[in-house]
Amino acid sequence: MTKAPHPQIVTANHLLDGDVIYLTEALDWTRQITAAAVAHDALRAHTLLDEAQSRPHEAVGPYLAPVTLDPQGRAAPLHFRELYRTTGPTFLRDEAPHV
């Protein structure tokens, strides 16, 4: 079994509201990346992805995203795009209040 260079998670957008969602160990969807199921090898990653793809009426466009792990072993974004997907529009947070 080949080891993926980084652990991976499955993420997508929720069909009804478009929210960023992650697949959990219980094969549910969560909006918290920290609750995402972490795949440590390619086989597990693809099993999770297959599961997500078999549920097209819950999730749109599922894909595998590489992550790092926090000290508790929970997923944390690796790429800045995934980071922004967890935060929402960054300027609403970093810059002057929008409204």
Partner 1 sequence: MYDYTAFDAAFVRDRVAQFRDQVERRISGALTEDEFKPLRLMNGLYLQLHAYMLRVAIPYGTLNGAQMRQLAMIADRWDRGYGHFTTRQNIQFNWPKLRDVPDMLDALADVEMHAIQTSGNCIRNVTTDQFAGAAADEIADPRPVAELIRQWSTDHPEFTWLPRKFKIAITGSPHDRAVTRAHDIGLRMLRNAAGEEGFEVLVGGGLGRTPMLGKVVRDFLPRADLLPYLEAILQTYNLLGRRDNKYKARIKILVHETGIETLRAMIEDAFAENRRSFAPVDPALLERLEAAFAPPDFEPPAAVPQFLSPALRSFMDTNLHPHRLGHYASVTVSLKPVGGAPGDATSDQMRLLADLAETYAHDELRVSHEQNIILPHVPRRHLPSLFARLQAAGLATANVGLVSDIIACPGMDYCALATARSIPVAQRIARAFEDIDRQHDIGALKIKISGCINACGHHHVGHIGILGLEKAGVESYQITLGGDGTETAAIGERAGPGFSWDEIVPAVERLIGAYLDLRHGRAESFLEVYRRLGAAPFKAALYPEAAERRAHAG
Which residue's CB is nearer to partner 1, number 1 or number 99?
99
Which residue's CB is nearer to partner 1, number 72 or number 95?
95
Residue 96 corresponds to which tokens in the numbers above?
């002057």
- Residue 19: C-alpha distances to residues 35, 67, 82, 86, 91 (Å): 15, 19, 13, 10, 18
Which residue's CB is nearer to partner 1, number 25 or number 63?
63
Cα 66 from Cα 80, distance rounded (Å) = 11
Cα 24 from Cα 54, distance rounded (Å) = 15
Contact between 18 and partner 1 by CB under 8 A: the answer reads yes
Contact between 20 and partner 1 by CB under 8 A: the answer reads yes
The site map against partner 1 for 44-83 (x = CB under 8 A) is ------------xx--xx-----------------xxx--
